[in-house]
Copies of this chain bind each other. A is one copy, B any other.
Amino acid sequence: MSRQVQRYLDQIRAEFSGVDAGELADYIPELARVDPDRFGVTLSSSDGYIYESGDSAVEFTIQSISKPFTYALALDRSGPEAVDAKIGVEPSGEAFNEISVDRATKRPKNPMINAGAIAAVSLVPASSPDERFALIQDYYSAFAGRRLDIDADVYASEKATGDRNRAIAYMLASFGVLDDDPDDVLDVYFRQCSLKVTTTDLARMAATLARNGVNPLTGRRVTDAAVVRRTLSVMVTCGMYDAAGDWVSAVGMPAKSGVGGGILAVLPGQLGIGTYSPLLDAKGNSVRSVLLCRRLSEELGLHFLTVARDARATLRAIYQPCDGVRVYEAHGDLLFCGAEQVVRTVDRGCEDFVVGILDVSRADDVDEAAKVLLSGMSTALHDQGKAGFIVDPDRRVIGDGSEFEQVRYRTVEDAVDAATAFIRGQRSGR
């Protein structure tokens, strides 16, 4: 039934595969050697259902996408007061590799720029660099739901060429932001940036944030809701560098990109997204990944301010008016995430009924993505030897001239009558 989502994803991935703008990162040879055509995307629903398309199993280095996770770990282990004393939460309006230290407080402006990310490493309490890195590696792995490992070549290269980061670390030391040896902290930072992930890892990490800290795959609580809220808040205002306002307006998902070519985006409560394509724009963001995120947000209505409409929505009641027939009553606004959930709920329950009736007569707004998903439901049920009817008097889902006109009913009563007839017909040997 989720084939529609899958098909949609494959289709836009195919569309953007044609875009070959951008350049491979070349500040270290390892990044310049990757296959520029790689392109993958994974969606994870907040209950852990995975949609993958393209090179979703290819590993690449996490790079700056690590920043929110080490920040979260620092919040977890050192508490918000200690972290706030060393790292701010305001947008810097500057490129990620600027030093961006607040003039008055001497703190890095936020944890999404290198200065703040390096400071965050130092706020993970540990007695040695190895212990500190082990904590970070375990933490990220818990978010991903599998053991993440290091790309040793990338790590060696980053370490050999990191003059800018060394400058930042020594500057922080001179301001009293770093208490540990700058070179030790940097070593952990370089290792952290070299951890390998796939888009499916990123989607799961994102979904764990979307689920307020519970990994939907493992069911394990990785961190608590307050840490997630703080982390996502900072991603909202500082995640996409100097275009926070534009990203919030156009995409509306807390997100983080890395020069490895990945982007991780979170739709709180709903969805985790991971993308990968190594060709970067001038700001260091993956060209295709940005396009993909914008398109997904636009077409699926994944803006965090929009999705909140779902809050009062979806299945207000599920009941069986008679044997073999189940009615799913949807209320409120129906957008992509809600509709996707409705479709999967119906799918999961389909062993228990012969005819599923979706009643959208009390729904408010239904967007395009939802229409496609919901109207496609009857086909999917039909393929399983069942029937799916839709109660839609105001044509919220089934428009004039739709191919699904024959499954549309004006009242639940009509639909139930039809369902009874269908069941009878089926039993009578058809």
Q: Which residues of A contact B (CB under 8 A)?
A: 46, 88-91, 93, 99, 110, 163-164, 166-171, 173-174, 182, 212, 225, 228-230, 232-234, 236-238, 242-246, 248-249, 252, 254, 267-270, 303-319, 333, 337-338, 341, 365
User: CB distance A310 to B309 under 8 Å?
Assistant: no
User: CB distance B171 to A233 under 8 Å?
Assistant: no
CA distance in complex: A16, B252 (Å): 34
User: CB distance A170 to B164 under 8 Å?
Assistant: yes
User: CB distance A246 to B90 under 8 Å?
Assistant: yes
Q: Which of B166, B236, B319, B337 contacts A248 (CB 8 A)?
A: B236
CA distance in complex: A287, B254 (Å): 29
Q: State the oligomeric state as a number of copies.
A: 4
User: CB distance B316 to A316 under 8 Å?
Assistant: yes
User: CB distance A308 to B309 under 8 Å?
Assistant: no
Q: Which of B173, B212, B245, B269 contacts A237 (CB 8 A)?
A: B245
The answer to whether A309 and B212 touch (CB under 8 A), given A164-B170, A166-B170, A316-B315, is yes
Supply 9 A–B pairs (Cβ within 8 Å), ascending by A: A90-B242, A90-B246, A110-B245, A163-B170, A164-B170, A164-B171, A164-B174, A230-B249, A268-B304
CA distance in complex: A148, B222 (Å): 50
- Determine the chain B residues whose CB is within 8 A of the CB of A313 once the complex forms: 311
User: CB distance A89 to B164 under 8 Å?
Assistant: no
CA distance in complex: A310, B311 (Å): 5
The answer to whether A269 and B232 touch (CB under 8 A), given A91-B91, A163-B174, is no
- Within the complex, the shortest CB–CB distance from A59 to chain B, in Å, comes to 28
User: CB distance B237 to A248 under 8 Å?
Assistant: yes
Q: Which of B110, B163, B303, B333 contacts A173 (CB 8 A)?
A: B163
Q: Most B CB atoms within 10 A — which of A110, A267, A305?
A: A305
Q: Which of B233, B269, B306 contacts A310 (CB 8 A)?
A: B269
Q: Which 10 pairs across A and B sit closest by C-beta, in order of nearness?
A: A269-B308, A167-B170, A167-B171, A89-B245, A164-B174, A163-B174, A268-B308, A90-B245, A233-B249, A166-B170
- Within the complex, the shortest CB–CB distance from A234 to chain B, in Å, comes to 7
- Within the complex, the shortest CB–CB distance from A224 to chain B, in Å, comes to 10
User: CB distance A269 to B309 under 8 Å?
Assistant: yes
Known: A236-B236, A311-B337. 7 other contacts (CB 8 A): A91-B245, A163-B171, A167-B174, A229-B305, A237-B248, A269-B308, A312-B341
User: CB distance A182 to B163 under 8 Å?
Assistant: yes
User: CB distance B166 to A308 under 8 Å?
Assistant: no
The answer to whether A233 and B254 touch (CB under 8 A), given A268-B308, A307-B311, is no
- Within the complex, the shortest CB–CB distance from A111 to chain B, in Å, comes to 10
- Determine the chain B residues whose CB is within 8 A of the CB of A337 once the complex forms: 311
- Determine the chain B residues whose CB is within 8 A of the CB of A238 once the complex forms: 245
- Determine the chain B residues whose CB is within 8 A of the CB of A309 once the complex forms: 212, 225, 268-269
User: CB distance B306 to A244 under 8 Å?
Assistant: no
Q: Residue on B with the closest CB to A176?
A: B163
Q: Most B CB atoms within 10 A — which of A254, A269, A341?
A: A269
User: CB distance B306 to A308 under 8 Å?
Assistant: no
User: CB distance B307 to A305 under 8 Å?
Assistant: no
CA distance in complex: A333, B306 (Å): 19
Q: Residue on B with the closest CB to A269?
A: B308
User: CB distance B164 to A232 under 8 Å?
Assistant: no
CA distance in complex: A307, B268 (Å): 9
Q: Residue on B with the closest CB to A270?
A: B311
- Determine the chain B residues whose CB is within 8 A of the CB of A242 once the complex forms: 90
- Determine the chain B residues whose CB is within 8 A of the CB of A163 once the complex forms: 170-171, 173-174, 182
User: CB distance B304 to A305 under 8 Å?
Assistant: yes
- Within the complex, the shortest CB–CB distance from A194 to chain B, in Å, comes to 19
